Amino acid sequence: MKCFWDDRQRAHVPASEFFNGAMHPAAEHEGRVEAILKAIGSTQAPGDLGLDPLLRVHSQDYLDFLRMAHDQWLAAGREGDALPYTFPVVKRRPLKLQRIDALLGQYSFDTSTPIGPGTWEASYWAAQTALAATNSVLGGERTAFAFCRPPGHHCGADYLGGYSYLSNAAIAAEHAVAAGRKRVAILDVDYHHGNGTQDIFYERGDVLYVSIHADPVMDYPYYWGHADERGQGTGEGANLNFPLPRGTEWSSYEGALAMAVEAIGRHAPDLLIVSYGADTYEGDPISYFKLRTTDYAPMARTIAKLGLPTVVVMEGGYAVDALGANVSEFLSRF
C-alpha cells in the first residue's frame, strides 16, 4: 500500500498533558513516529495544496488562532506549550477577545492538547498528508495510508482537543466531495469516539460517519459517541455509533464491526476513509479494550471485503512497543 508521510509532522513535540488532576507525559509523543515509520517502510511526501482544502472544514478564525496561538502565548510571557485553563461553557455573547487565555478556552475542549511552536506546521503537513493519500486513491490507487500525526478525529470545525488540531479524515472526505465523489463513508475504529469528525458531518446525508469506540459513559470524550446520536436534518441516519464496554475483546468487537461494515455497504459510497487508531490494543497505556496484534488482520479483511477505494488515516495508538506491528498487521490485509 502506498504510504504518505511528511517529516515536518515531527515539529509537534508536546511535553505534557493535563488530566485526572495532574500533568502527565504526553501520550501522543514523537516516539510513535519511529515505531510506525519502521513498520511501514518507504513513504512519499505530500505536495502542498495550501489552505483551501482545510477551509472546506475549518473556519478561518480557528485556523488563524491555531497558527498564532503559540506566538501569542510567548508574547504573554509564558514558557513551554500553550494550554487553556478556562472555558466559555456557559454560553456568552460572541465576544472578540484577544487575550491568549480567552482564545485557548474558546477553541479547545480539553486540557490534553498542548500547542507548541511547531504544532501548526506539523498539523498542516498532517492534513496535506491526508490530502495526498486521498488524491492517490482518487487517481486510481485502490488503497493508500496517510500517516497523519498529530491525529485529527477529535478536532471539529472550530475547536481542538484529544491531541487533534486539524480534522484530517474530514479534510480528506471534503476533498473527495469537492473532486466529485457523491457519497463518502468514514469508518472510525480508534478506541475513542471521533467527536470532531461526527460534528463536522452531523447534518450531512452524503458523508456517513460510523464509529466503534469505548462507551462514552465511561471514557473520553464523554459528551459524544452515544448510540442515540444518529445525525440531524438531512444527516439523519447518516451517523452511527457503536459504543462498547471497557474490556472488549475481538470476539465481541467483530459483531459491531460486521454491523458497521453492513451499514457502509448500504450507503454505497464512492470512497471509504478509515480513521485507524491502534489504541484498541490490549497494551495501550490510556485505553481499555483487549484487542491483540493478530486481531488487526481480520479487522482489516472485514473492511477490505467492502471492495471500496479506501484511504486509511492514522489516529491514536500509544503502546509504542507494539505500535509498528499493530499498524502493519492492519495495513497488510488490504
CA 176 to chain centroid, in Å, comes to 17
Smallest distance from Zn ion to CB 79, Å: 29
Segment near ligand SP5 (CB under 6 A); pick from 101-109, 129-137, 161-169, 324-332: 161-169
Task: Answer with the entry of Zn ion, ligand SP5, none that 181 interacts with (C-beta below 5 to 8 A by kind).
Answer: none
Residues 6+ apart with CB under 8 A from 147: 3, 4, 5, 9, 36, 37, 40, 43, 129, 314
Query: What's the DSSP call for residue 328?
Result: H
Binding residue (CB under 6 A) for ligand SP5 from 36, 131, 238, 286: 286
Helix boundaries (H) for the chain: 31-40, 52-55, 60-75, 100-107, 119-138, 168-178, 195-201, 250-267, 296-304, 320-331
Q: Which residues inside 95-114 make contact with ligand SP5, applying CB under 6 A?
A: 112
- Show the site string, 167-196: x = touches ligand SP5 by CB under 6 A, - = not: -----------------------x-x----
Q: Single out the catalytic residue among 58, 70, 153, 154.
A: 154
What string marks each residue from 17 to 36 as x (binds ligand SP5 by CB under 6 A) or -?
Answer: --x-----------------
Site string for ligand SP5, 198-237 (x = CB under 6 A): ----------------------x-----------------
Q: What is the DSSP string of 178-205?
A: HTT---EEEEE-SSS--HHHHHHHTT-S
How far from each other are the two terminal CA atoms of the chain, in whole angstroms?
8
For residue 316, the one-letter residue type is G
269's contact among Zn ion, ligand SP5, none, with CB below 5 to 8 A by partner kind, is none
Residue 154 among the catalytic residues = yes
Q: Are 121 and 165 in contact (CB under 8 A)?
A: no
Residues that bind ligand SP5 (CB under 6 A): 19, 112, 151, 154, 162-164, 190, 192, 220, 277, 279, 286, 315-316
Point out the residues that are catalytic: 154
